Amino acid sequence: MNQPPRAIDQAEILRRLLAKDASLWSDDQEEQAKIRDRLGWLTLHDTMTVRRAELEAFGQEVRSRRYQRAVLLGMGGSSLAPEVLQATFGAAPGRPELTVVDTTDPASILALERTLDLPRTLFIVSSKSGTTLETISLFRYFAAKVRARTGGSLDNFIAITDPGTPLEELASEQRFWRCFLNPPDVGGRYSALSYVGLVPAAIIGVDIRLLLDSARRLDPKAGVGLGAALAELARTGRDKITFLPGGLRGFGAWAEQLIAESTGKDGKGLIPVDGEPLGRPEVYGDDRVFVRMRAAHRPDGLDEQVQALEAAGHPVITIDVPDAYDLGAEFLRWEIATATAGALLGVNPFDEPNVQEAKDATAAILAQGSLDPDVSDETLTPDNGPLVLAAAQGAVSRSYFAIQAFIQRRRDNDELLARIRASVRFPTRLATTSGYGPRYLHSTGQLHNGGPERAVFLQLTMDDPEELPIPEAAYSFSRLKRAEALGDFRALQSKGRRVMRMHLGADPTAGLARLVDSIQQSAAPATTPAGTRGG
């Protein structure tokens, strides 16, 4: 346990940060040694510049092989930065479009598979530890499908991992095309400018030099200043960092993982809010700080809304992004800011002490010989919207409402989840978050289990149309997904968290629509004027 932070000025933080002084985050010698092994991200822009020619040559090899698609199999830190890069730059002419797969949902996996010409798809297996259960399960599934088409060759697979991991060994045994070994002193959520982000960037034709140069030009004082501002706002109760829409697509989801996993522990934490529908100033409580990533290449048209928020007394932090390639600088700015906020809040931003709890609960459920334990007495239906709203309305001050959706990630489901968030926020003024499972387990799971004990959780499950077996495993993707959902449900319960479980049935989209109606109908008519439901 870290000691409460003493007063540290920004100049001292900057000096100690650049010196990689682990005592900035802990007084414990053993913990400091572990932290020192996680600080390589501070100089990745220099480390990877040395490897730029290798990356560019690899990108040209990919182009010469004429792959139609590139599919990245990863979770959390291994998947979110590549997703931002694809959303920001797209695929250059002659390069394959990148799709990130970070799910165990059978419908999602099958929907992707049906769009692929498997031998002409480049598969990227990315895992720092080389043991991530979801990633290895996805590899086994797609490797079996490719072998059936190629006669056994996995020459269209590459790996990104740390030296000495089981994934490195697997890549050698299975004769992958390439295996990129990342600097081992970089944690997953701080790895955007390592091979984790740069190999996918090279594949889709991003200019590696420009991306790294933007990080090199960043004045680290800008990151320290941002982190200090966020920590000070949190001390005044404004701990909900709300990313406004527009700007850098996908960046909020990447920052969400960075902030949530780094600061959400020891009962503390900054709560990142990404993807929440933008509302009028009066639907927000006094626990918000808004972040606007104003990108010149993608105008957001938010001037009027931002002015209204500021006029209502809500702080807004605006970060100008003059060029798409300044994404490299923004990765580094937010990493420095998060490390700074951790120092000022008295938490170690480089560990994840509570993530293993949900994993252990999942493993215990998978080890059982029977089907999932009966939880029908704990499970709501989509018509129980009044109970959901009552739980949110009964939350303590400055709580937040978190949706955990173990369903297929689709645009129509995205829109309905957003409507649920707005419908809960309107009468409660609660901040709302939403994540697809098991993706969120590797993104906000640490915050949920180890952060402030003020959240109200709603877990959504569904009936899968297919089980979809996993080669070399005693369970299917459907069973794995159910075990992950129930494992996290039990982990949250064991912490005394306020968590509800709702089953949407065989048609989750219809179930979400029913839930929206159920919540909105239960809201008092006086607080939900006609034409303004959801705020």
Pair 376, 335 in one domain: no
Name the 3-class secondary structure at 216.
Answer: helix
Cβ atoms of 322 and 218 within 8 Å: the answer is: no
Cβ atoms of 294 and 266 within 8 Å: the answer is: no
Pair 252, 360 in one domain: no
Sign of CA dihedral 158, 160, 164, 166: negative
Pair 191, 278 in one domain: no
Cβ atoms of 274 and 253 within 8 Å: the answer is: yes
CA-to-CA distance for 371 and 528, rounded, in angstroms? Answer: 43
Cβ atoms of 348 and 342 within 8 Å: the answer is: yes
| Cα dihedral: 151, 153, 157, 161 (round 10) | 130
435 occurs within a structural domain: yes
Domain that holds residue 423: 355-527
Give the angle subtended at the CA of 334 by the CAs of 332 and 336, to the nearest 5°. 70
Quick: pLDDT tens for 201-259: 999 999 999 999 999 999 999 999 999 999 999 999 999 999 999 889 999 999 999 99
Q: Which residue has the higher pLDDT, 413 or 535?
A: 413
Name the 3-class secondary structure at 53.
Answer: helix
Cβ atoms of 429 and 283 within 8 Å: the answer is: yes
Quick: pLDDT tens for 291-309: 999 999 899 999 999 999 9
| Cα dihedral: 188, 190, 192, 193 (round 10) | -120
Quick: pLDDT tens for 7-46: 679 999 999 999 999 999 999 999 999 999 999 999 999 9
Pair 386, 523 in one domain: yes
Pair 56, 100 in one domain: yes
* Residue 226: its H or E element: helix 220-235
Among residues 301, 324, 345, the one where a domain terminates is 345
Pair 197, 82 in one domain: yes
Burial environment of residue 311 by CB neighbours within 10 A (0 to 12, 13 to 18, 19 or more): exposed
* Residue 98: its H or E element: strand 97-101
pLDDT at 356: 82
Residue 86 sits in a domain whose CATH number is 3.40.50.10490
Res. 65: pLDDT tops 70: yes
Pair 51, 188 in one domain: yes
Pair 179, 72 in one domain: yes
Pair 335, 403 in one domain: no
CA-to-CA distance for 525 and 183, rounded, in angstroms? Answer: 57
Number of domains making up the chain: 3
